[in-house]
Copies of this chain bind each other. A is one copy, B any other.
Amino acid sequence: MPNHIYIATSLDGFIATTDGGIDWLNDIPNPDGSDYGYTNFMQKMDALVMGRKTFQVVLGFGEWPYDKPVFVLSNSLTSIPDNLKDKVKIVSGDLKSVISDLNKQGYQNLYIDGGKVIQSFLCEDLIDEMTITRIPILLGSGIPLFGELKQRLKFTNKNTQAFGNGLVMSSYVRDRG
């Protein structure tokens, strides 16, 4: 199960408002302090693959949040901030080659993140497992998680967990059978 998605969406399938806002995510009370399986998920990952936009959003957080190596898919990005040069690499080219190269370097379990990158991976049927957490809100508009595909993709529901604050997390494995 090499390529993974782990992401939250509104009930109407948006990962952010149209201007990239995620205030509605932080708006959900979390009295139990749950990390919704994030630490456990990240421990299984060997590296992250994200798009330039997501990278720039993460840079805006100030503190770099990842222990694992990050590969930024970009044709336009030319340099990485000095303090991140040992943690972040720029990669480009077609997705299958990028994945193949990373796999050869020993990075098997990849956390694929960012709206456009996720859509590109799904369009090429390159996602093997997705964990989607539904936030109990309808936004009405925003940046959608899913996009157009070349073909229908079937999945198997591996696990579903409903949290007390209304979040519903489901893990799906791609069913290519």
Interface residues of A (CB under 8 A from B): 11-13, 24, 122, 132, 134, 136-141, 145-157, 159-160, 162, 166-168, 170, 172, 175
6 pairs of residues in contact across A and B, judged by CB atoms under 8 Å = A11-B146, A12-B145, A136-B157, A136-B175, A160-B160, A166-B172
Q: Find out whether the CB atom of B13 lies under 8 angstroms from the CB atom of A12.
A: yes
Partner of A154, one of B137, B149, B160: B137
Partner of A137, one of B139, B153, B170: B153
Q: Find out whether the CB atom of A138 lies under 8 angstroms from the CB atom of B162.
A: no
Nearest-neighbor residue (CB-CB) of A122 within chain B = B138
A162-B11 Cα distance, complex, nearest whole Å: 17
Q: Find out whether the CB atom of B162 lies under 8 angstroms from the CB atom of A160.
A: yes
A161-B135 Cα distance, complex, nearest whole Å: 16
Q: Which residues of B contact A155 (CB under 8 A)?
A: 11, 136-138, 166
Q: Find out whether the CB atom of B153 lies under 8 angstroms from the CB atom of A157.
A: no
Nearest-neighbor residue (CB-CB) of A162 within chain B = B160
**Min distance, Cβ A46 to any Cβ of chain B, angstroms:** 25
Nearest-neighbor residue (CB-CB) of A12 within chain B = B146
Q: Find out whether the CB atom of B153 lies under 8 angstroms from the CB atom of A138.
A: yes
A91-B113 Cα distance, complex, nearest whole Å: 47
Q: Which residues of B contact A153 (CB under 8 A)?
A: 137-138, 140
A24-B152 Cα distance, complex, nearest whole Å: 9
Q: Find out whether the CB atom of A152 lies under 8 angstroms from the CB atom of B138.
A: yes
Q: Find out whether the CB atom of A146 lies under 8 angstroms from the CB atom of B157.
A: no
Nearest-neighbor residue (CB-CB) of A136 within chain B = B155
4 more A-B residue pairs beyond the given contacts A137-B153, A138-B155, A168-B168, with a C-beta to C-beta distance below 8 A: A12-B146, A13-B146, A134-B170, A138-B153
